[in-house]
Each structure stands twice: as structure tokens, then as C-alpha cells.
Structure 1
Amino acid sequence: MAHVRSTNPPIASRAALYLDLIRWNRPAGWLLLLWPSLAALWIAADGFPGWHLLTVFTLGTILMRSAGCCINDVADREFDKHVKRTASRPVTSGALSAQEALAVGAVLALMAFGLVLTTNPPTILLSFLALAVAIAYPYAKRLVSMPQAVLGVAFSFGIPMAFAAVQGGQQWSFSAVGAAVPWHAWCLLAINLFWVLAYDTEYAMVDRDDDLKIGIQTSAITLGQWDVAAVMAFYAIYLVSWGWVTTRLGVPTLAWVGIGLGAAQAAWHFWLIKGRTREGCFKAFRLNHWVGFAVFAGTAIALERL
């Protein structure tokens, strides 16, 4: 009897597609999410927050960033066909169906939610708001001129969740969320938004020519000739404001060493993006997680030396 060849791709090939879908070989994305969340954990706990919360927020960040990639690729699959950098993504190229990508994203999001369930009610309630913002972001570029601001909220939501996880009680109400998340946590979220505006505008500068052709809106297009100046202003607002607020909260001035190292990297990024080349802008974006790491490390080391 002749053997019938299976039409299904080998398991190894499908696994490779899933890993490509969630950008497993590009950890910069989840690192950009991780460092502000960990900095907030240390601030909320006045030092090391414990292995449980460190594990929850680290693994949860990786899982939710991966789930976000699935949602984003499905939402943008028609746009991505016309962008050089994204045309070969699994959903865009047809290697994976939209339904399969969403199923992968749902599984990852449920795994992240399982981690959140080990915390407390205020954190769990905030996780629903975080998910709503994450789902809304891919569609923001169809509606607003600077969708990077929406991404900024999504990528900064780990900050109030960190405060809720450390300081929250066991009550199931949004008033309990208000009690667990002080005003300065929301202030740090707003400040972190400027860092997201800086690095995601650099990212948008990579695709500006393609985005203009297909008619979507980005901060790079909206800012026009002021893009480089705006990116540097965003960095400055983020770094100075973060340092000022955390100092007011009692974080020792040693944390400014980390902020200074972040500022030095931002200055280097100016030289990378000032020519507006694809290569320079993309390199600046990919290396941004070191800015966040410097700020986190300075904060954590300063608090541990209290």
C-alpha cells in the first residue's frame, strides 16, 4: 500500500512558527515591559519584593508580551503585507491562520492570568484593565495620530499592578484598588509613558515610508521634521521626572547613577537616529531596554542600601 503523505507541517516546523509569532528570538520587547514593572515592585516594597512577586511579574510579562504579539499580528496582517520589516511574519505570510494565532495568544494570556490569580484581588481587577488596553492598542493607529501613547499606557500598566500586588488587601472592589495604588504609582505610569513614546517613535521612524504609503498613523509621521527633537525631549522628561518623583518618595539619591547611565544611552541614541536611517533607528529601538535596565538597577541598588 502506498504511503499517504500528511499535509500537516511537521511539529518542529509549527513550533518554529509559534516561536516566530511571539518574537521569542527578540527579547527586547518583553524587557521594555519588565524593567518599569520591577522598578515599581522595588519602590512599593521599599526593597526586594520577594521571590513570589518577582517570578509572577517576570513570567507574566513574558507571557503577556507574547500574547500581545499574537493579537497585534492578526490586527495588522493586511497592513504588514506592505511593510518590508513585517511582510514575512507568520500570520501575514499565511504560514499561520488568524484563528490559530489568536488561539495561541489566548492560551498565553490564560497562563499569565493564572499567575495573577496567585496575588490579590486588586491586582486581579487591574489585570482586566491592562488586557483591555493591550487589545485596544493595535487598532489605535486607525483612530489616533499618536497611537504610541496608547502603547505607552499598555506598556506601563505593570507599575500600578506592582503596587497593588505589594500593598493590596483581599477586598474585591475598585475602591480597594484605589487604596492599594497610591497617586504616585499613576504618576510613575504617566512618566514611563514618555519613555515608551521615545523608543516607539524610533521604531515608527523605521517604517515611516511604508506607513505613509498604506495610510496608517504613527508618531513619526505626526511629528514630521520634529521627530528627533521630540524623541530626545521624551527621554529627558522621562528620566528627570522619574528621578524627581522617586527621590520625593524616599528612594536614595544613589538611584540617580542609574538615571545618569540611562541619559548617556539616550544621548548615544541621538547619534543613531539623527540621520533617520532605518538601520540607526532600529538599532536605537532594540537597545532601549538597557535604558530601562539602568533606571531599574539604580533604583534597586539604592533601595537595597537603605
Structure 2
Amino acid sequence: MTSVLYDSPGPRAIRRSRIVGVVGTLAIIALLGWALWSMYSRGLFDDRWEIFVDPPKGQEAADVWSALLIRGLGATLLAGVIAAPIALLLGTLGVSLRRSTLRPVRWATTVVIELFRGLPVVLMMFFILLVFGVSPLWAVVAGLVLYNTAIFAEILRAGLAALPRGQREAALAVGMTPLQSFLSVELPQAVRLMVPSLVSQLVVLLKDSSLGFIVGYAELLRTIRLNSSFFGPDTLVPYFFVGAAIYIGLNLALSRLAVWLERRGGSRRTAKETPVATSSATAAGPDN
């Protein structure tokens, strides 16, 4: 079985791929082993890890975990949940304006998208915070929205460009307006086509919320820093590893969501195409 981009691998390619996979896995295991040994030799596996089960200074384990999972992670998710749908909506609006028949509208939209895509997220957060005097939460949300609007618009534009030109021509031929063709025919297909890229960008959006630490927003990273300062600098390493595990688990969940959505979309397309193929074969009848 072949693909549009490449042929299926042969026995040599499969064997080479397995060898590379085994070597890469062993290298990763060796790297992790070296890191653990380095930490052990430096005395990092001492009682400082008890911060999560028996913290000092009159605190309880529930206080430590609630600070991480409720206040810190909750603030991270709050910024992401607010920013993501707004950025998706504005990104869709941006790609529609970029396809406008009016040249000034296309030019202005292109300039705005390229401007927001080229500016650092933290710079936009600082600008919103200092110029408009909003709270750190809304400065973070605004920065995430401005940057990811441009990225979502470019992702959707790539999906629209990948569609066959006949899709738009057929929609216009049956009497649809260009806007109706965009909203009812082209955009849904582009979204299904680019679901993995869109979800991957959502992962980036969620990780970029950690930049709110710089503008004073109490998200997960800032919560880790404040708690480690309260309990002492020795607890920074345990907090770092637990925070990294939380970020990795959250992003892996979003990545698995992308895979699930892609498979679900593929199964739906297969289910829709199968009856058409069967009816065509029946209509053709047996060869004489």
C-alpha cells in the first residue's frame, strides 16, 4: 500500500527503522539514568521530597497540592479556556477577511496577522498590562489571543489552500454566495483537515500561559516559585519535577485528544464515502 507522499517501507527500511528506534530508546534510557545518578550524587533525593506528604511550617499536604492543582493549574487552565475560543473565533474571522474580494481589506488583514505573528507573546502581555491597566489575568488572555489569532488564521488558511478548487467552484455553481461557500463548504473541511495542527497550537497556547509569571499572573509556574520560596530553596527541585509532570500530563492529554479527533473524523469520512462507492458499483452493473 502506498501513500501520496511516499511508498510503504520495505524490509530493509523496516529493519533500519527498528534499529534506530532501539538505539534511540537506549540512548534516552541512558540519559535518564545519568540524570538520576547525577541527582543522587548531589544529594537531591533527601527529605526535601517530603514537602508533598509532610510539609513543614504548620502546613498540610492538602495545602501544598491544592496550591498546585487548584490555584496554580486552575489559573493556567482559566487563561487557556478563555483565550482559546476567542482566538479560534478571531482566527476564523481573520482568514475570512484575508480571502475578501476587497483588496484593501485583504492587505490590512494580512498586515495585522503578520504583525501579531511576529511579536513575542510576553511583549504583547506587557503592552496590554501597562497601556490599558488591566489585571494580570486579562493581560495574559489578551496576549495569548492576539498571538494565537494570527497562528490559527494561518493554520486555517493552509487548510483552505489544500482543498481542491472544485469545492468552491461547485458551491458557486449551485447558487451559493462566496460567503456561503466559505462557511458551509470550505471552512468545515479545512477545520477537519487541520484538527491535529489546531490542537497542537492549543498545546502551545496552554504552555505560553506560563509567561504570565513575568507579568505577575499567579499561574502554575508562579505558584511553584512562590511555594518554593515559602518552604525554602531546597524544595525548588521537587516542585520543578512535579510542575513539569503536570505540564507534560496536560499536554499529552491534549495531544491524545488531537489523535482521537483525527481518527473520528477519518472514520466518519469513510462511513460517508462507502455507501457512495457501493451505489456507484451497483449502478454500473456487471460487465457484459
TM-score by length of 1: 0.30
Instruction: From the two aligned structures, give the one with the greater helix fraction.
Output: 2
Q: Which structure has the larger Rg over C-alpha atoms?
A: 2
